[in-house]
Homo-oligomer: A and B are copies of this chain.
Amino acid sequence: MPKNEASENVTADDVAVAAGVSRWTVNRAFKKDASISPMTREKVMQAASQLGYLPDLRAAALASDKSNLVALLVDDFANPHKLVMLERLTRALRSRGWDTLLVNTLNAEDAGPAIANASQRRVDATILIGIQFDDEVLAAALGARRLQKLIIFARTSENPNTISIAVDDAAATREIAQYVLDRGYKRPFYFAGPRTVSAHLMRKETFLAHWLKHTDQTVPSMSAPSYDANIAAEMVGHQFANQQETTRPDIIVCENDALAIGTIDAIRHQLGLRVPEDIAVIGFDDVPLAASPNYKLTTYRQPLTAMADYLVDVLEQSESKDMTRTFHGQLITRDSA
């Protein structure tokens, strides 16, 4: 029979016998920074690769109570920016030895069960990158303590039991507002996303406040039920149909690029107007499509790579106190505003 025919279930014991050492030495060989002589390790690794052995991470997690696994809860797959975030996060995590459990929060009621589910896998941390995670969900999550760390990614959170890694929304929005002022726009309109958590309103509130302070005028606005370009397009088309040039806005400031892209489509194809000549548009996120020759969207780019790297720093930290941190991004000016 072939040498490694019965490679069904090779354990460290098998390798130990083959290499003439104890099982513990085998596992040491696979552990970085373990106390083992180079010669022995080489011998073990050779036997291991011959038998096709790789340590069982389930057992390791069970024994050490450390899984090197994080859960990523997502509930908003309509927003293309989520794909970028997923890429950056999984890249940073995996390149530093962490695995990712992707949990689709099926619907509003499912957030609780989704978190419970992750906790049953005994993940070392739970990362929320969705939007529907309102205060109740957070409370439930914090209650089901087991998920050692609760990290809110790319969203600020004022909950003290939570670690938030995000751009400074207020500063970013002020920069945007100032840009709008500086370029001489007179009648801005703010297009917000779903208003589930108070923190999510920060961008809108900041913009309105800034504008009021500098021009003494209020800014009209509306909210989309989700960050979906097609829905945004419908709303914009509906909202500004048959409006006079003097009453319609000269710029629509969108809470993110998904809304901005829908807005541009609607301005051009439903209102029959030009961007930016008739109505300018600003977004937030700098999704790949924002750079396309079609949209040339002026938007705000978050330092996602740095944020993802910092997230792994947080994971590797034993203490989770005072880990919340905000970053600064940059306004990318293109042709749309």
Across the A-B interface, the 7 shortest Cβ-Cβ residue pairs: A90-B104, A269-B293, A77-B87, A102-B102, A83-B83, A265-B294, A57-B120
- Among listed A149-157, A200-208, A284-292, A318-326, interface-contacting one: A284-292
A54 touches B99 (CB 8 A): no
Partner of A90, one of B56, B91, B102: B102
Does any Cβ of B come within 8 Å of A34's Cβ?
Answer: no
Query: Given that A102-B101, A106-B94, A294-B265 are contacting pairs, would A229 and B288 also be in contact in the complex, using a CB cutoff of 8 Å?
Result: yes
Does any Cβ of B come within 8 Å of A72's Cβ?
Answer: yes
Give Cα A121 to B122, complex, Å. Answer: 13
Does any Cβ of B come within 8 Å of A262's Cβ?
Answer: yes
Query: Given that A233-B293, A293-B270 are contacting pairs, would A67 and B77 also be in contact in the complex, using a CB cutoff of 8 Å?
Result: no
Closest residue to A79 on the B side, CB-wise?
A: B83
A80 touches B78 (CB 8 A): no
Does any Cβ of B come within 8 Å of A170's Cβ?
Answer: no
A-B contact pairs, 13 of them (CB 8 A): A56-B62, A58-B67, A77-B84, A86-B102, A90-B104, A94-B104, A99-B103, A101-B101, A262-B292, A264-B294, A268-B294, A270-B293, A289-B289
B103 touches A90 (CB 8 A): yes
Q: Which of A69-102 contact B (CB under 8 A)?
A: 72, 77-78, 80, 82-84, 86-87, 90-91, 94-95, 99-102
A229 touches B292 (CB 8 A): yes
Does any Cβ of B come within 8 Å of A144's Cβ?
Answer: yes
Question: How many positions in chain A have a CB within 8 Å of any CB in the partner chain?
Answer: 60
Chain A interface, DSSP helix/strand/loop, else mixed: helix
Does any Cβ of B come within 8 Å of A230's Cβ?
Answer: yes
Q: Give the shortest distance, in Å, between A239 (CB) and chain B (any CB).
A: 15
Does any Cβ of B come within 8 Å of A238's Cβ?
Answer: no
Q: Which residues of B contact A162 (CB under 8 A)?
A: none
Does any Cβ of B come within 8 Å of A59's Cβ?
Answer: yes
Does any Cβ of B come within 8 Å of A55's Cβ?
Answer: yes
19 other contacts beyond A78-B288, A94-B103, A261-B292, with CB at 8 A cut-off? A7-B145, A52-B143, A54-B116, A56-B62, A57-B122, A58-B62, A77-B83, A77-B87, A80-B80, A86-B86, A87-B104, A90-B103, A99-B117, A102-B102, A229-B292, A265-B292, A266-B293, A268-B293, A268-B294
Does any Cβ of B come within 8 Å of A336's Cβ?
Answer: no
Closest residue to A119 on the B side, CB-wise?
A: B54
Give Cα A266 to B294, complex, Å. Answer: 8
B99 touches A100 (CB 8 A): no
A56 touches B102 (CB 8 A): no
Q: Which residues of B contact A86 (CB under 8 A)?
A: 77, 83, 86, 102, 104
Give Cα A264 to B262, complex, Å. Answer: 17
Does any Cβ of B come within 8 Å of A61's Cβ?
Answer: yes
Q: Give the shortest distance, in Å, between A13 (CB) and chain B (any CB).
A: 15
Q: Which residues of B contact A119 (CB under 8 A)?
A: 54
A52 touches B101 (CB 8 A): no
Query: Given that A80-B83, A99-B103 are contacting pairs, would A289 and B229 also be in contact in the complex, using a CB cutoff of 8 Å?
Result: yes
Q: Which of A201-237 contact B (CB under 8 A)?
A: 228-230, 233
Query: Given that A7-B145, A83-B82, A101-B101 are contacting pairs, would A292 and B230 also be in contact in the complex, using a CB cutoff of 8 Å?
Result: yes
